[in-house]
Amino acid sequence: MPKMNRRRFLTLSAAAAFPLPARARAVEITQWHGTALGAEAAIYLQHPDADVIISRAVAEIDRLESVFSLYRTDSTLSQLNLTSRLQAPPFELLECLAQCGRVHTATQGLFDPTIQPLWQLYATSFDAGHAPAQEQIAATLPLIDFSRIAYDSDTVILPAGMALTLNGVAQGFIADKVADLLAAEGLTDILINTGEFRALGQMPGAAGWPVKLTTGGEVSLVSRALATSSPLGTFFDRDGTVGHILSPLDGIPSIAIWSSVSISAASAALADALSTAACLMPDRVAIQASLANFQDARIEALV
């Protein structure tokens, strides 16, 4: 399987394990560390009931993993891929698919969650010690087309042979849902990291949650989300040259024009999906054209 050193391009400089801004060093931040969809996850907040709040957030992460995980054979997504049909789909899946559809359109098809059969072809081939043959890629490409999925409140239907991966959006989506849960309880000034960052309010004692990009620079998040993708953040081959972000148009891994792309938006799911698609775009102009379809999205770093 691909080597999973996934997305450690962001670090938080806002907790006890990291240097705090001088004005906020007296603030005691409670932090939780775990995993979400296989990525390192964390929650940071200052609250007298921090442990109780975190336990609710972690339970929500686990609940949503049961919908979106490809590694849980009993997850909703795994069952959909297995049977090609899902009755009474959970609302969260429908909401995520709707977001995928918007980004699919805005990126002219470069963001396409039906890439899973092609991704599996690459993974299986490199596990066997070789790249997939061009004929195999060509035979798989007709299975890649998000617009062919039928879904509504009653049913999700995948055409024969198709399968979904939501790995390019679900981490951000889960961050959004955890933020929604906590905001509905009247909570604020919390930072959620599920592989992508979503800030509720700002860091106590500071102007924002300071998130540093390891490629350089810092983004201060106030009620905003940040996602970073890299063509070689995960790779299929032992040499680390064949990246995990595959073009749904020609089946070829993204050319490493960028080492990483960081995009912020009000929604972590949106930032996540856009940063994934941006890795397949040739220049800043093309990325900006896609982002222009969303009022709140902007490039934070292209390296």
pLDDT tens-digit series, residues 48-59: 999 999 999 999
Query: What is the percent of the chain with per-residue pLDDT over 90, rounded to a whole number?
Result: 84
The residue extents of the domains of the chain are 10-302
Q: Which of 52-66, 105-119, 208-222, 279-293 is predicted with the least confidence, judged by mean pLDDT?
A: 208-222
Average pLDDT over residues 212-218: 85
pLDDT of residue 113: 98
Model pLDDT for residues 196-207, shown as the tens digit of each residue: 999 999 999 888
pLDDT at 216: 84
- Can you tell me the distance from the alpha carbon of 162 to that of 140, in angstroms, rounded to the nearest whole number? 9
Q: Give tens-digit pLDDT for 243-294.
A: 999 999 999 998 768 889 999 999 999 999 999 999 999 999 999 999 999 9
Per-residue pLDDT, 134: 97
Q: Which tops the pLDDT comparison, 12 or 115? A: 115
Query: Across residues 182-202, what is the average pLDDT?
Result: 96
Residue 27 pLDDT class (50, 70, 90 cuts): low
Residue 61 confidence class, pLDDT cut points 50, 70, 90: very high
Write down the pLDDT at residue 214.
73
Closest alpha carbon to 120 in 33, 299, 275, 246: 246
Q: What is the pTM of this model?
A: 0.91
Strands ordered across the beta sheet of 298-302: 30-36, 39-45, 190-193, 197-200, 225-229, 261-265, 298-302
Terminal-to-terminal C-alpha distance of the chain: 27
Segment 3-13, tens digit of pLDDT: 333 333 344 44
* Contacts made by residues 249-256, CB under 8 angstroms, sequence distance 24+: 249/109, 249/110, 250/141, 251/118, 251/137, 251/138, 251/140, 251/141, 251/144, 252/137, 253/122, 254/279, 254/280, 255/231, 256/231, 256/232
Say what the pLDDT of residue 30 is.
94
- Name the class of domain 10-302: alpha beta
- What average pLDDT does range 13-33 have in this prediction? 57
